[in-house]
Structure 1
């Protein structure tokens, strides 16, 4: 059975402050998102002088290696029960509170734009995100915002990733030294790594639910951009040929001032709208599969044969959630979506 530990860290320095005596752990990594972590601990074991939402972070280690990290945003004290509940989000959530307050104007490779934004935040009281593994791809993009637009950095990252020819991104928590952790930005192409083998219902996992959603399906997509100054707006349009009645999807990007960028966004949305989204949720058999073998963005085959649900198809992991009870028992579940949803070209 793996050994888990929850560390309290200082957000700015990454220094480990305490090992917390938690009563339960639940943490999740989300594809191109922040993810979450919730832990409980005895109320009298918390030090209010050092453990504070906004300035403290949590790092979960599994057999000594960091598997999750991020800022604590809320703490709820139950005086009757004598417990403290901590709620944290992954490192990306920090960048929802950072803006490009001096504006920004550059045309460069995707990786160089990302590195710029992180560097601007790092030098101005940030969390020292490491960008050394952000490699260029040859996909050049243009970004322009004035200082008055106060572009939110998390939004800028997500929008860049979601364009046609985009990427998956995540943050890795790692040891900088024996007493200090760091966070590192990573990006990869759509598809990620392949599953170690086919996930088969009743063999190495239990598929607990499969939902189907056609909300994103579209025969035509309109990506509406900024006002061009004469009362009209820029628009990018992309079409799908589908055996369904005409259905339009309109998405607004009010700060995008380039028709090329709007076309890229329209094509990405259209690619995601070619078929209903199938969303299986499954629990791994711990004796057969290590949860660390699956990272959001990874893809591979899932096989299900259960009445209406007859599936043998490729899926992408959209979320990995791990729950650890007071006895140290670990249960990991995966949420997935059809691989076609992430199809992209350039």
Structure 2
């Protein structure tokens, strides 16, 4: 018997459950260090399809699997199909909220040589205390890597962007927003979870045994024998910069350059340059696959998790470790799950820039 799915409408600011939604179909996806998305269909004329209570930007959406929250986020759009009699709700994970929040305090923001976790807690706490959505930061613990960040009020630094840039450093991390029952049956909370790259795993998958590898793309466009990261203009036309190289790469000279217009010190640019170089150290293999139904649960495939994929099919000969960059789950009216994964090389994503 398959898992039982339930979809709840919540209040975005509090997480309080508003009602259970009658659904005609569910699809949800989680992306590595991004917002993720969900799409849920409900009957257009259902009592729960009430525009006074169910509104984009105000309503939340929580998907439960066997009564355990597995996905949650914010409804940003709704499409009514009058001919079909359905209302499709489109939602994004909570990171999408932080794309709409800024470090807009009049004094700006400045911290020097503090742990990555201190920065994350500062930024989320600022949002929480200024009309936010109550993101739980109790699971964010010391990382052991010091960073400096400084922005004036006029730079109006976006919080989601700040988190992503911090995660992308060479000694960065993977992050996600985990839903949980804060009060069973009453309120669903969500916590920011930060994990070191490569510490979570997924089961070994083999083409035509436990999965169907639908495609493998090989990308050499990011190869770099030399990488440069430039910072902000210091007002004299000069910019701080850092560089890193791949002396073992046998390709002809190729240069990758990135500019971080809000970074003002060479020290802060060093991990950026190293991350760019790591991404450019080898061609990136990007497999996409569908897991055979009934063998696994979606909770076994978290974005950022590392596992082995085996393929022996002509040009494609893989026996190596990959990182999940996206997990997509579809649930039909019978409750049958389909799990699709997008992956990329472990060496690039665990040691370099994950964006």
Fold match (TM-score > 0.5): yes
Match of 1:317 in 2: 324
Q: Is the 8 A contact 1:272 1:343 kept in 2?
A: no
- CA offsets, 1:265-318, max 9 Å, x none? 010111111111111111112332222111111101110000000110010111
Residue 80 of structure 1 deviates from its aligned partner by 2.5
Q: Distance in 1 between matches of 2:350 and 2:162?
A: 21
Residue 63 of structure 1 deviates from its aligned partner by 0.4
Q: Is the 8 A contact 1:204 1:289 kept in 2?
A: no
**2:284 counterpart of 1:281:** no
Superposition pairs for residues 222-237 of structure 1, below 5 Å? Answer: 222-237=228-243
Q: Is the 8 A contact 2:223 2:254 kept in 1?
A: yes
- CA offsets, 1:94-125, max 9 Å, x none? 00000000111012100111011110000111
Match of 1:2 in 2: 3
Residue 82 of structure 1 deviates from its aligned partner by 1.8
Aligned alpha-carbon RMSD (Å): 1.1
Match of 1:21 in 2: 22
Q: Is the 8 A contact 2:202 2:302 kept in 1?
A: no
Q: Distance in 2 between matches of 1:177 and 1:215?
A: 49
**2:205 counterpart of 1:202:** no
Gaps of 5+ in 1: none
**2:151 counterpart of 1:145:** yes
Match of 1:94 in 2: 97
**78-87 or 8-17, larger mean C-alpha shift:** 78-87
Give secondary structure in 2 for the equivalent of 1:159: helix
Moved over 3 A (4+): none
Q: Distance in 2 between matches of 1:92 and 1:341?
A: 23
Q: Which residue of the other structure, out of 263, 276, 282, is the alignment partner of 1:269? A: 276
Q: Distance in 1 between matches of 2:263 and 2:9?
A: 40
Q: Distance in 2 between matches of 1:50 and 1:118?
A: 27
How high is the TM-score relative to the length of structure 1?
A: 0.97
Q: Is the 8 A contact 1:271 1:343 kept in 2?
A: no
Residue 6 of structure 1 deviates from its aligned partner by 0.9
- CA offsets, 1:203-254, max 9 Å, x none? 1111111111112211111111100111121211111121111111111110
Residue 64 of structure 1 deviates from its aligned partner by 0.2
- CA offsets, 1:72-109, max 9 Å, x none? 11111122222111111101010000000011101210
Q: Distance in 1 between matches of 2:221 and 2:187?
A: 45
Superposition pairs for residues 1-346 of structure 1, below 5 Å? Answer: 1-45=2-46, 46-102=49-105, 103-107=108-112, 108-178=114-184, 179-196=186-203, 198-241=204-247, 242-344=249-351
Q: Distance in 2 between matches of 1:291 and 1:82?
A: 30
How high is the TM-score relative to the length of structure 2?
A: 0.95
Q: Distance in 2 between matches of 1:191 and 1:264?
A: 18
Paired residue total: 344
